[in-house]
Amino acid sequence: MIDSMEEELNALWQQVETLAGTKYLKRKIPPDVSDQFSDEANQAIRNLKDLDQRINNRRDVRLLSRMQQELKNDGVMSPEMYLWWVNRY
């Protein structure tokens, strides 16, 4: 199920692609603001980056909560959580 933030993210990506005149194959990292783009495109890029950061923050909170629950219940982290923790922090 796709939530509203992911729908908004897809809509912003489409808006950025339309305004910038560029098709982005990898939609993992938003483009940087550039003088080559219009003011509208740059604003859409800023909005896209803000939303992407909010989604990442939400994901981190969920994973951190899961890690704390594992530590509370088992006293150890699963290998998946350990790798996330090491790579993130």
22-63 per-position pLDDT tens digit: 898 888 889 999 999 999 999 999 999 999 999 988 888 888
Return d(Cα 33, Cα 7) in angstroms, integer.
22
Q: Residue ranges of the domains in the chain?
A: 4-88
Task: Answer yes or no: is pLDDT of 4 > 60.
Answer: yes
Claim: this prediction has a pTM higher than 0.85: no
Give pLDDT, residue 2.
56
Going by the DSSP 8-state scheme, the letter that residue 27 receives in this structure is: -
User: Cα angle vertex 82, ends 81, 83, to 5°?
Assistant: 90
Alpha-carbon distance of 77 to 62, in angstroms, equals: 15
The pLDDT, as a whole number, for residue 19 is 93
pLDDT of residue 1: 40
